[in-house]
Amino acid sequence: MIIKAIETHHAGHRFRSRLEARWAVFFDHIGTRWEYEPEGFECSARLTLSEESIPYLPDFWLPDFNMWGEVKGHLSEEALTRLLNVAASLSGNNGGGCHDNGGNDLVVFGNIPSHSENGGHVPTRLHMHKGDLQWSPWMTDGDGAFCSPYGKRIAADVGGDDIYEEARYGLTPEVITQTLLRGTWSNSVPVEMRNALQAARSARFEHGEKP
């Protein structure tokens, strides 16, 4: 059975899914600007080294962070490889250096996570650096800052099906998929981010209700 996403209206936009709308609520609550599907790209297959380009329309542009945002409620292995290729291309300036040379990192916003007093899952930032695609937890603090882009290597631009063979810590495609959808674990999540996630989880859109 195929489950179709529910188109949802919020802040003057018609989102393709309710999950996208919930993340827009999250952005509103942390006080960061966002643009929905502002422009598309022809991305290189930076990791698999395929000659075919990848058409890609990011879900969000976050100008306060100079990053793209992609909302994912599920991922097949094929979609995962495509997503990582796109992230490497955008962050690596479509084949060049990392974001200092004109690229922009991609943050994956999966299912809205919950938290406990001991930390919780947060969206995952993808950053291309010297041939390695790395991930790290993405979060904001009271000053709107975000964590370092450098983290675990999850793939490399070696081409073909070997991109995951270069990953460290035994990160298989299945583990990478689960983490992107669930979020990356952080031992400390800022209060403002916890509150924004709670607002996103509890937002109601049915029957004309507003979040």
DSSP tally for the chain: helices H, then strands E: 4, 14
Whose CA is closest to 73, among 5, 121, 127, 135?
5
The SS3 call for residue 144 is coil
User: What's the mean pLDDT when you consider all of the chain?
Assistant: 84
H or E stretch at 172: none
Helix axis angle, 77-91 relative to 173-182, nearest 10°?
70
Contact 32, 65 (CB under 8 A): yes
Find, among 106, 110, 114, the residue nearest to 23 by Cα. Answer: 110
Per-residue CA distances from 143 to 26, 75, 166, 190 (Å): 16, 33, 36, 11
Render the burial of 131-154: b for 16+ CB within 10 Å, e for the rest. Answer: ebbbbbbbbbeeeeebbebebbbb
Q: Taking a C-beta distance cutoff of 8 angstroms, is the pair 67, 84 a contact?
A: no
For residue range 169-197, what is the model confidence (pLDDT) as tens digits? 678 899 999 999 999 988 888 888 889 99
Is the per-residue pLDDT at 144 higher than 50?
Answer: no
Tens of pLDDT along 62-72?
999 999 999 99
Query: Higher-confidence residue: 75 or 146?
Result: 75
Could you tell me where the beta strands, DSSP code E, fall in 57-123? 60-62, 67-71, 106-109, 115-116, 119-122
Greatest mean pLDDT range, 56-70, 143-157, 186-200? 56-70
Dist CA 84 CA 188 (whole Å): 26
What letter represents residue 124's amino acid?
T
Q: Is the pLDDT confidence value at 50 over 80?
A: yes
